[in-house]
Amino acid sequence: MAIVILRDLLGPVLLLAAAWIMPSVAKPTVPFGVRVPADRTHDPLITEQRRIYRWWIGTTGSALVLAGLVLSLLVQQVLVPVIIVAALLGVIAPGYLHARLTIRSVKQREGWFQGKRQVAVTDTARHTEPPRFPWLWALPAVLILAATVVYGVVRYPDMPATLLLHFTGAGQPDRTAAKSIGSAFGVVFLQAGLTVLLLAMAYALPRLKPDLDPTRPRRSANQNRRFASGMARTMLLVAACVNLSLAFASWQIWRGATSLAAFPIVLPTLVGAAGLLVFGLRYGQVGNNLPTDEEPANDATERDDDRFWKLGLLYVNCADHAILVPKRFGIGWTLNLGNPIAIGGFVVFLAACLVLPMLAR
Query: Got the DSSP string for 313-357?
Result: TEE--TT---SEEE-SSSSSEEEBTT-HHHHHHHHHHHHHHHHHH
Do 75 and 94 lie in a common domain? yes
Last residue of a domain, one of 65, 80, 115: 115
User: Is 51 domain-assigned?
Assistant: yes
Do 197 and 97 lie in a common domain? no
Last residue of a domain, one of 98, 115, 132: 115
Do 143 and 109 lie in a common domain? no
Three-state SS at 43: coil
Computed from CA positions of residues 130, 119, 325, 58, in that sequence, does the dihedral angle turn out positive or negative? Answer: positive
Do 269 and 291 lie in a common domain? yes
Task: Report how far residue 358's alpha carbon sits from residue 352's, in angstroms, rounded to the nearest whole number.
Answer: 10
Do 40 and 173 lie in a common domain? no
User: Is 303 domain-assigned?
Assistant: no
Do 129 and 263 lie in a common domain? yes
pLDDT digits (tens, 9 = 90+) for 215-267: 888 888 888 888 989 999 999 999 999 999 999 988 888 887 676 677 788 88
User: Is 135 domain-assigned?
Assistant: yes
Do 273 and 148 lie in a common domain? yes
Number of structural domains the chain divides into: 2
User: Is 321 domain-assigned?
Assistant: no
Element (H, E) at 359: none
Contacts of 346 (CB under 8 A, 6+ apart): 335
Domain hosting 157: range is: 124-298
User: Is 151 domain-assigned?
Assistant: yes
pLDDT digits (tens, 9 = 90+) for 322-356: 888 899 998 889 999 998 988 887 787 777 666 65
Do 32 and 140 lie in a common domain? no
Element (H, E) at 167: strand 162-167
Please state the pTM of the whole predicted model: 0.83
CB 231 within 8 A of CB 290: no
Does the structure show a pLDDT above 60 at 105? yes
Task: Please report which residue ranges of 159-315 form alpha helices under DSSP H.
Answer: 181-204, 217-254, 262-283
User: Is 328 domain-assigned?
Assistant: no
CA-wise closest residue to 355 among 164, 197, 190, 198: 190
Q: Mean pLDDT for the chain?
A: 85
Report the percent of the chain where pLDDT is more than 90. 40
Task: Report how far residue 177's alpha carbon sits from residue 25's, in angstroms, rounded to the nearest whole number.
Answer: 46
Do 101 and 173 lie in a common domain? no
CB 190 within 8 A of CB 356: yes
User: Is 319 domain-assigned?
Assistant: no
Last residue of a domain, one of 81, 115, 149: 115
Do 228 and 150 lie in a common domain? yes
Task: Report how far residue 257's alpha carbon sits from residue 166's, in angstroms, rounded to the nearest whole number.
Answer: 11
User: Is 205 domain-assigned?
Assistant: yes
Do 64 and 210 lie in a common domain? no
Across 95-99, 107-111, 130-134, 350-354, least confident range = 350-354
Residue 111: count of CB within 10 angstroms of its CB: 9
Do 68 and 167 lie in a common domain? no
Angle at 132 between CA 127 and CA 135, to 5 degrees: 145
